[in-house]
Structure 1
């Protein structure tokens, strides 16, 4: 067999680790986007609930979460009978999860694909 001067080394573990890290980066970007979008909808009286919003990342389990940490956060999110200022609403996380779905998926895909380009 002729030597064509081409050799390929494959380090599957390194590739999988790079893809995993990049995917987590994409999830974090998507979660930050969701937090930003939901913060414009979250009920706002004194701003406590809005300021409590955060993104939590657990690379070990591959999860990212967006949360609001006030005792009344769940009620404000779920109780459709509560009144809110104009532009503020219940379902402040649920609604942008739906309306921003394509943007968040694109953020994840773009970040996850970076190791394959480089």
Structure 2
């Protein structure tokens, strides 16, 4: 019998990183459907990233007003747009993100 444990471990880790990237992009897409819009600069600044080494994903927006727009519940937004756009997108899509990661790992183990 040949041992392929290291190869399998690498394949699973790579698959998990791919799944995390898909999951982060999914959360970003969902967040973008409700992110406050004026000239869409906030929406365009959104990015999904993955740290392959630590297997951590991040979704962020990079404008000077991203945090206040997210946190200030007293701001008025256009219909269908809201504060907590990123937090809610993550909380509402946890199962989908887990499914995306699991699907990539299953594919790697075929």
TM range (shorter): over 0.9
> Quick one: distance in 2 between partners of 1:29 and 1:115?
15
**Helix, strand or coil for the counterpart of 1:93?**
helix
What is the TM-score when the length of structure 1 is the normalising length? 0.89
**Helix, strand or coil for the counterpart of 2:21?**
helix
* Aligned length, in residue pairs: 110
Q: What does 1:1-118 correspond to in 2, within 5 Å? A: 8-117=1-110
Judge which range, 56-65 or 35-44, deviates more.
56-65
Structure 1 unpaired stretches of 5+:
1-7
Deviation >6 Å, runs of 4+: none
Q: Note the aligned Cα RMSD (angstroms).
A: 0.9
- Deviation (angstroms), 1:61: 2.2
Structure 2 unpaired stretches of 5+:
none
Instruction: Determine which structure has more spread, i.e. the larger CA radius of gyration.
Output: 1
**Helix, strand or coil for the counterpart of 1:66?**
strand
